Amino acid sequence: MTLPARHFSWRMRGNSLTWGLGNYPELEADYDLILATSMVDLTALRGFRPHLAKVPTVVYFHENQFAYPASLLQQGLVEIQLTSLYSALVADRVLFNSRYNMDTFLTGGRRLLKKMPDAVPVGLMDSIQNKSHVLPVPLDDSQGRTRCQSAAGSKVLEIVWNHRWEWDKGPDILLRLVSTLAQRHLLDNSLRFHVIGQQFRRVPKEFEQIELLLVEHQALGAWGYVESRESYLKLLSQSHMVLSTARHDFQGLALLEAVMAGCIPAVPRRLAYPEWFGERRCHGCDDKDPQIEVDALIQRILELKTANGATTDSARLARGALVDDQAALLEQLSGLGWSHLGPQYHHRLII
């Protein structure tokens, strides 16, 4: 059962009301297991439909509101955070898509409860931790592992930015990157940026400026939402680098898919990225000075561009090392494939 992906605050607080008192006869059936996302107000839903309280329940956290970057538009954050705690407390098992997600939820929950004035039962977060496990969303490995893409011989470095077009994915940092490349006379038709992803009613104003700059400097590739899954995967497989400017990514599925398709990751040392790629493959960043992150991204782009046009022995060696490192990363990430994670899902969903 799903509800439309809009009106976030209402969805978080109102889903139990919609399902609990609305016309949803499917909720009257006898179930062996309930698998709910962390956005479901499970305690209220059980109150509206008491028979569901007897069904074993797994809550899956694909994100958590304790590590979500603060938004001036977001109201009632504490209430939303408490609701997710209540759902985790009544669940029989709690699953997270990354250790980063689990750790920030448990840490954030403890900090929140310490702020409460009184009457907080002892050991609440310990009880959640004792039934929590990390179980990433699996990647499709049915076609086998993709070898890394070498940019050698290509006249154009293909760069992908593949995220939702929302403020928490860092469009301001992407704009600063493109602007800085232009100011340093590094943005031209030897680079091609594919800025793709899902868009909603409100598109951050930065995207209009990004598009204008890329068009002006003949560096614009694909733009907007790619409707066809086949076309999307083809674009990833033909690209050389995937970059992230996100302030919010609890697993980074889009990024992981691109890397598995052969792209070299250019990601900040934050969020879940070090968990998958290791600290050394992530570049420096500073929330107070975004230029540090931009300069690190430019360095990564120039390194790959140099390796692309390698004409010296040292450049060829660097390119070979890059390809070898990417092959090692792909081997490491193979553990996120369905063939590996499938049995774990079977194990964790049996209560």
CB-based contact 310:320 (threshold 8 Å): no
Q: Are 192 and 159 in contact (CB under 8 A)?
A: yes
- Residue 62 CB neighbour total at 10 angstroms: 16
Helix axes 313-333, 253-260, angle to 10 degrees: 120
Residue 72, pLDDT score: 47
| Residue 265 vs residues 272, 294, 301: alpha-carbon distances, Å | 13, 15, 10
Sheet strand arrangement including 264-268: 220-224, 191-196, 157-162, 241-243, 264-268, 282-283
- Asked if 27 and 45 touch (Cβ cutoff 8 Å), the reply is no
Identity of residue 3: L
pTM of the model: 0.91
State mean pLDDT over 96-117.
Answer: 97
Angle at 289 between CA 274 and CA 202, to 5 degrees: 80
Q: 323 falls in which pLDDT band (50, 70, 90)?
A: confident
DSSP codes, 204-260: -THHHHHHHHHHHTT-EEEEE----HHHHHHHHHT-SEEE---S--SS-HHHHHHHH
Instruction: Summarize the confidence of residues 78-104 as an average pLDDT.
Output: 96
Instruction: Compute φ and ψ for 288, nearest 5 degrees.
Output: -85, -15
Averaged pLDDT, 69-85: 77
Tens of pLDDT along 139-153?
A: 988 755 555 555 555
How far apart CA 178 and CA 298 sit, in angstroms, is: 9
Distance CA 72, CA 85 (A): 23
pLDDT digit string, tens, across residues 183-222: 999 999 999 999 999 998 889 999 999 999 999 999 999 9
- Domain annotation for the chain: domains and CATH numbers: 8-134 (no CATH), 157-337 (3.40.50.2000)
